[in-house]
Amino acid sequence: MSLSRTAVHSVPDALAYLAGGWSVERELRDGGHTGRFTGRAEFRVGDADDGWLHEEEGVVEWGGVTRDAVRTLRMLPLPDGTAEVSFADGRPFHLLDLRRGRWTAVHQCAADRYEGTFTVLSPDEWHLRWAVSGPAKNQLLTSVYRRARRGGGPTGRT
């Protein structure tokens, strides 16, 4: 089923919704190559002036090689329930607005265009699709986030 026809769940406050732990399953495609990331994401208030942090850690499988992977994004809450997302070093990335349950963010990085579609399906599941195009890039990253229980497993799933 196409995500454009999927019922969405509106979110009045993006960071209140994202707060806590999530399991992450990501399919990676780059030209004819495929890979996978499996791990965990945590959305939490950072230290001092960090605002919020989006931290991911897990294992990426690519080209027959498996290795650990981590990333951190910073998120600054805005009064209307949206958030400004930046890279860990403070460079701007995109705005995040989940109030209608779906958001498309665009980030231009030199000659490469990143277009991310965020779709909230329920209080415990959301999807993220990044399409990356440029002179040397043709990537698609499709992620499923499921809220983790305190024990670390996804909720509502067996």
Where do the domains of the chain lie?
8-144
pLDDT of residue 89: 94
0.85 exceeded by pTM: yes
How far is residue 91's CA from residue 86's CA, in Å, rounded to a whole number?
5
Residues of the chain with pLDDT under 50: 1-3, 152-158
Phi first, then psi: give them for residue 18, nearest 5 degrees: -75, -20
CA distances from 47 to 13, 40, 50 (A): 21, 20, 6
DSSP 3: G
The domain 8-144 belongs to what CATH superfamily?
Answer: Calycin beta-barrel core domain (2.40.128.20)
* Predicted local confidence at residue 157, as pLDDT: 38
Q: Which of 70, 76, 68 shows the shortest CA–CA distance to 52?
A: 76
